[in-house]
Structure 1
Amino acid sequence: MSALQHRIRGLLDEFVDTGAETGLQVAVYHRGTLVVDAVAGVADSRTGRAVASETPFFSFSAGKTMTSLIAHLLVRTGALDYDTPVVDLWPESGAHGKETATLRHVLTHTVGIPAMPRDIGPADLPDWQRVCTAIADAEPRWRPGAETGYHSYTFGYLVGEIARRATGRAMRQLLRDWVAAPLGLEGELYFAVPRTDLDRLARLEDSVPQPLPPDDGILSPWERQPTAALGNSPEILQADIPSVGTFTARGIAAVHAAVLDGRLIDSRRLEEVTAPAFEGTDQVFGNYARMALGYPLGRLGAPPDETPTTFGWVGGGGSYVCADTATGTAFAMTKTRLTPHLDTARRLADVTAAEIPRHSRDSAP
């Protein structure tokens, strides 16, 4: 596996040297062993501070992997199951025909409220009560369970309010108590970064100005295109916004290694979690979507005929987190430069998949 470390590090240096990227981290676990822990470039272009393995990055929707995991751990406690109606815990959420929505619908992005209500903007995101009240009163675009469509920011508040009502604890506390502390990853995984840790973070930067993605008629511009200003905002970074997250590549890859090897989810639950749960056309972006419980299925850049054994999330701006049940591989990539494409993540993921033989469940690491 030293060959993979060498190759990944070489690619990271190439991305930085050519100016395609400014700062990156990649971590790969294979069957519970850290086989790649590579960094390159600077964490903050203003000061020249170098990226280190312990540098946390705000990584937009790649943080949804942590949100989905909290939902599965909540089910593990017995507080609810995947088909429990959300109104059982959150009665107000049933307004305007949403009373049939279940946790399964939340995890498959089929509740029908993909966009934030129009009176909610980025500055409102730290106000948990205001956002959840608006979501509860929102009218769904489709009957819960009928269609899927990317719930960009609403997803985290849906899971988070269900978890808060079930446990009395905020998502930042659950992530710390259920995941980070047991795995020895405190300081590497955050919903809501403590003020004292803000100076440790990488500083995001926008790439050359890009036009907004085509208007889907559903999401607001700020939901469709991430910006460095949002990801660097101290108010946003310190807020519990579990549709996004701050983490190191090493830390989030370690979490998914623990998911794969049974430390966080047993094998029966993992099989249930990663099975196809909803397939159809994404009503927001128009692409074909195959959803597991909380994650899109399929490796980034995989050929259409490849049997999906990978689950994870890409983050706006180009970050990527995934795990492969066939090979026991967990992969994570964070970066400072926000790009409108996933070229860097795709190339790194392809190299990793090629180096670690697929379907090698019984082979030696």
Structure 2
Amino acid sequence: MPSLQQQVQSVLDDLVGTGAETEAETGLQVAVFHQGAPVVDAVAGVADGRTGRRVTPETPFFSFSAGKVMTSLIAHLLVGTGAVGYDAPVVDVWPEFGAHGKATATLRHVLTHSVGVPAMPRDVGPADLADWTRVCAAIADAEPRWRPGTETGYHSFTFGFLVGELARRATGKPMRQLLHEWVAVPLGLEGDLYFGVPRTDLARLARLEDAVPRPVVPPDGDAVLAPWEQQPTAAMGNDPEILQADIPSVGTFTARGIAAMNAALLDGRLIDPQQIEELTEVAFEGTDQVFGNPVRLGLGYPLGRIGARPDEAPTTFGWIGGGGSYVYADTATGVSFAMTKTRLTPHFDTATRLADLTMAEISR
């Protein structure tokens, strides 16, 4: 029986080698840790289709909302320091946030996307995301769509600024610095995990590509989120200003680095087992008020693996990223899985296929 590394590598080679343009991938990374040890570190394809530069395990990828696993981890580390509590009001450290009836909002509400401010205020666009002060002031002054804690709805970009401003006010440090000091340096992952990529490292990054053909999404005047908040584009993921900005609703990382981070979370090197148990319990279950789908959330993460069988226990927690990336950890098996990719697809078929393969092999 081929090893899991061999099986994953074979799938990746097949995906980048297929002649079907709508099915082919162009550049991929997959990393898997099991019980804290690396068991898969596979890559295939090109990191930059313009130059032919190949993907390596050291190539960072901008992976949209999959970066929220780093944001949620910082929140839990913040709680671990005693600086804030899950049920502490946000206004304890960010008084301005209490405007328009949001004074009851807590970190627990932030982590379960139930604060009630899922969308960026309409006067904030992608070009404003690097202006931390402006974005946070706009969010603080926003009127909630529901009373905090009563409903849930995907906080696409507001999530990272909510966690980040709480962390900044509590510690005096921006999220990019906390990620570096609390996670990357202790784990030896400098150069693997970023909120805001240094200009000197931009040339290392993978270059994203839109899927061909790109799906046409008609405008929806009733949509909660602006199109740029819900439709990932290569233009955004390749924008040097976006890449260098501290925007902790998205992130740039290597599959190896993010999987190593979650492996350290699972085995207690970052937070204690009691806190892991708390963050992976069901904290909110209901209908997402943004997209209308049923959701089951832990503290900071959707629970359950994409593509899982109906009878599979929801022991996994993690985030998908627009365009098809996927990061998850599994408390039952001790698996930490990550997949990054250059081609932004409107589905998660590749992630599901590789996650299923990993689960089947680990469970043998």
Q: Which residue of 2 aligns with 1:363?
A: none
Instruction: Return the alpha-carbon distance in structure 1 between the equivalents of residues 348 and 326 of structure 2.
Output: 9
Aligned length: 358
Q: Which residue of 2 aligns with 1:6?
A: 6
Which of 253, 260, 279 aligns to 1:247? It is 253
Q: Which residue of 1 aligns with 2:127?
A: 123
Report how far residue 217 of structure 1 moved: 1.6
Instruction: Return the alpha-carbon distance in structure 2 between the equivalents of residues 305 and 13 of structure 1.
Output: 31
Which of 342, 346, 351 aligns to 1:345? It is 351
Is the counterpart of residue 307 in structure 1 residue 313 in structure 2?
yes
* 1:62-89 C-alpha deviation (Å, 9 max, x unpaired): 0000000000000000001100000000
SS of the residue corresponding to residue 25 of structure 1 reads: strand
Q: Which residue of 2 aligns with 1:35?
A: 39
Which of 101, 105, 125 aligns to 1:101? It is 105
Q: Which shows bigger deviation, 161-170 or 303-312?
A: 303-312
One-letter amino acid matched to 2:145:
R
Report how far residue 357 of structure 1 moved: 1.0
Taking structure 2 as the reference length, what is the TM-score of the superposition? 0.97
Is the counterpart of residue 256 in structure 1 residue 268 in structure 2?
no
* 1:278-311 C-alpha deviation (Å, 9 max, x unpaired): 0000001111000000000001111223210000
Alignment of 1:197-346 (within 5 A): 197-208=201-212, 209-212=214-217, 215=220, 217-346=223-352
Instruction: Return the alpha-carbon distance in structure 1 between the equivalents of residues 57 and 217 of structure 2.
Output: 32
Which of 151, 154, 163 aligns to 1:150? It is 154
Provide closer, same or farther for how the CA distance between residues 213 and 258 of structure 1 changes in structure 2, counting only shifts above 3 A: farther
Instruction: Return the alpha-carbon distance in structure 2 between the equivalents of residues 17 and 217 of structure 1.
Output: 38
One-letter amino acid matched to 1:289:
V
Instruction: Return the alpha-carbon distance in structure 1 between the equivalents of residues 3 and 309 of structure 2.
Output: 25
SS of the residue corresponding to residue 165 of structure 2 reads: helix
Alignment of 1:41-80 (within 5 A): 41-80=45-84
Which of 86, 89, 92 aligns to 1:82? It is 86
Is the counterpart of residue 160 in structure 1 residue 133 in structure 2?
no
* 1:163-184 C-alpha deviation (Å, 9 max, x unpaired): 0000000000000000000000
One-letter amino acid matched to 1:192:
G
Unaligned runs of 5+ in 2: none
* 1:124-166 C-alpha deviation (Å, 9 max, x unpaired): 0000000000000000000000000000000000000000000
One-letter amino acid matched to 2:104:
T
Report how far residue 341 of structure 1 moved: 0.4
Structure 1: 4+ residue segments shifted above 3 A = 213-216
Identity within the alignment, % = 77
Report how far residue 42 of structure 1 moved: 0.1
Instruction: Return the alpha-carbon distance in structure 1 between the equivalents of residues 218 and 310 of structure 2.
Output: 24
One-letter amino acid matched to 2:242:
I
Unaligned runs of 5+ in 1: 359-365
* 1:198-256 C-alpha deviation (Å, 9 max, x unpaired): 00000001012211277462000111101000000000000000000000000000000
Instruction: Return the alpha-carbon distance in structure 2 between the equivalents of residues 179 and 351 of structure 1.
Output: 29
Instruction: Return the alpha-carbon distance in structure 2 between the equivalents of residues 35 and 76 of structure 1.
Output: 29
Instruction: Return the alpha-carbon distance in structure 1 between the equivalents of residues 352 and 216 of structure 2.
Output: 22
Q: CA RMSD, aligned part only?
A: 1.1
